[in-house]
Amino acid sequence: QARRTRRSAALFNPSEYGDPGGNLSLISELMAALRNGEFSLAYQPKYDFRAEGITGVEALARWTHPRRGVVPPDLFVGMAEETGHIRPLTEWVIRRAIVDQRALAAAGHDILMSVNISGRLLTDETFAEEVLAAITESGARLCFEITETAVMDNSERALAMIGRFKDAGVCVSLDDYGSGLSSLAYLKRIPADELKIDKAFVMGMDKSSRDALLVKSTIDLAHGLGLRITAEGVESPTTLALLRGMGCDMAQGFLIGRPKPLHALIERLNGPAGL
Ligand code: C2E
Ligand code: CA
Ligand code: CA
Ligand code: CA
């Protein structure tokens, strides 16, 4: 925690911004910022090799502060987690994603919406009630991207809650797969639909045959378990071709598209199909 505070202070020098509260005030501003429209979602497309087109997107939270400018997501997500603000933030993301999914459908695009869910929310009963109600009401098609470490912390209750979301039709994706410590134990326990192999392996696979081999083995492992696999961090055509040859299901990364606001996503989807 001390490390994060120091890093944050370096990014946002309070005196520089005329903000004596520093990041404490940043966090106290988060709730108001959600109400005031300072948050937005950026959507990053996911390319489906078999369908040869974009069939899903990942919703990524963006905070444009009126004085500080763009606040990095890793910073405000980390702070929101530590200060108990991650539930309102995530509920805001889900509500917005549901509304935007309806706008996409009205424009003729059936798009699966992936949202990032912090592991600690998987034991939050209030979160479950709110989100299950929103999903049932809207009939939205959502996928929860969950990271390994977070789920392992409080596995019994988290597993029960994952089951409830799955019953409501939510797909479960294991995010940053391969970057954690006990991947196989995790795979055995979580009823996932998708593995999302960490970009640390994918970004190097066009240069490193070891990375390529690790990706290939992970694809085969996922398929052996009946899971879909997404590679994130696809930045080069060589990587995309390698993944296609390995039988990977989905690709996400700067080559496919950067995270963009909804209107830009719709323009992209209205354009020529494929990449
Ligand atoms: P993540 O879930 O692993 O999201 C992917 C991150 O990788 C995004 O950064 C995305 O912009 C970046 N990325 C995508 N393609 C490429 C690529 O080809 N190359 C490289 N170098 N990077 C790529 P972003 O948007 O800065 O998000 C950072 C992290 O913040 C996310 O990592 C996620 O853990 C967290 N986050 C973002 N939005 C939310 C949210 O609404 N809720 C929660 N709980 N976490 C969020
Ligand atoms: Ca993610
Ligand atoms: Ca990820
Ligand atoms: Ca990550």
232 CA: nearest ligand 1 atom: 15
**Closest ligand to residue 150's CA:** 1
Q: Report whether residue 41 contacts ligand 1, using a CB cutoff of 6 Å.
A: no
Instruction: Sort strands 171-177 and 112-117 into parallel, antiparallel or unpaired.
Output: unpaired
**Closest ligand to residue 73's CA:** 1
pLDDT at 26: 72
Q: Report whether residue 60 contacts ligand 1, using a CB cutoff of 6 Å.
A: yes
Question: Residue 97 C-alpha to ligand 2 middle, in angstroms?
Answer: 14
Residue 215: Cβ within 10 Å count: 24
ipTM: 0.95
C-alpha closest to that of 60 among 39, 36, 84, 29: 39
Closest residue CA from atom 22 of ligand 1: 233
pTM of the model: 0.90
Closest residue CA from atom 4 of ligand 1: 60
- Residue pLDDT, tens place only, 4-14: 444 444 454 44
Q: Report whether residue 176 contacts ligand 1, using a CB cutoff of 6 Å.
A: yes
Question: Residue 15 C-alpha to ligand 3 middle, in angstroms?
Answer: 34
More confident residue, 188 or 129: 129
Reported confidence tier of residue 152, pLDDT bands at 50, 70, 90: low
- Residue pLDDT, tens place only, 161-213: 999 999 999 999 999 998 876 677 778 888 999 999 999 999 999 999 999 99
